[in-house]
Amino acid sequence: MNKPKINGLYAITPDLNHTGDLLDKTRQVLAGGAQLIQYRNKSADDALRKEQAGLLLQLCRQYRVPLIINDHIELAAALDADGVHVGRADGSIGDARRRLGRNKIVGASCYNSLDLALRAEESGADYIAFGAFFPSQTKMDTVPVSTRLVEQVKKKITVPVVGIGGIRLANAITVIQSGCDAIAVCNDLFATGNIKAQAKQYARLFTAHHAI
């Protein structure tokens, strides 16, 4: 797979230790129009994480959608996943690039720091993520981000910006309009009654925004 464009709905998996449940829900997200999937499971052990990531990769390949592995550079390399997302404590962007090669996606959390974003782009990140825009149920130790920061960042960097943190259908358009190329969503996708329909509504937000 050639390195894809980073835009649209970026779905992040929740901590689900039932692999069948994880695959079923992710399939619905993909059918609804997610453009990227990030595998993130903070509660799994190494064996379960490897099993789940491998099966998710097969599923994502069916839909021709990239699978990004959260944190675990070695796991991404071992599975030949489409990329990795690193935070402040997960290894450097340079390490990820050297391990995965230039054709894989390397994304970086930049929290609410313009300086981190500038350094991430300089280090070779393919996208940078800012958040949390809103209170998050997935991650408790977040820092607040304003849409004004995105507007500043877009004037200084060229790589895509991903908005993350507490994003729901009711507030997502604000994040998109601030200049974010993609929005990362977990709970408001995977914890809904009709996941495919929810994903479609997110996808429509981008279609409507680009039509303006």
Q: Which residues are catalytic?
A: 40, 109, 139
Task: Kindly give the pairing relationship between strand 161-164 and strand 83-86.
Answer: unpaired
- DSSP per residue, 59-104: HHHHHT--EEEES-HHHHHHHT-SEEEE-TTS--HHHHHHHH-TTS
- DSSP per residue, 180-203: -SEEEESHHHHTSS-HHHHHHHHH
| Cα-based angle 122, 99, 102 (whole degrees, multiple of 5) | 55
Element (H, E) at 120: helix 114-123
Distance between CA atoms of residues 8 and 27, nearest Å: 17
Distance between CA atoms of residues 123 and 164, nearest Å: 21
Cis, peptide link before residue 132, omega less than 30° from 0: yes
Closest listed residue to residue 99, CA positions, set 79, 81, 114, 77: 77
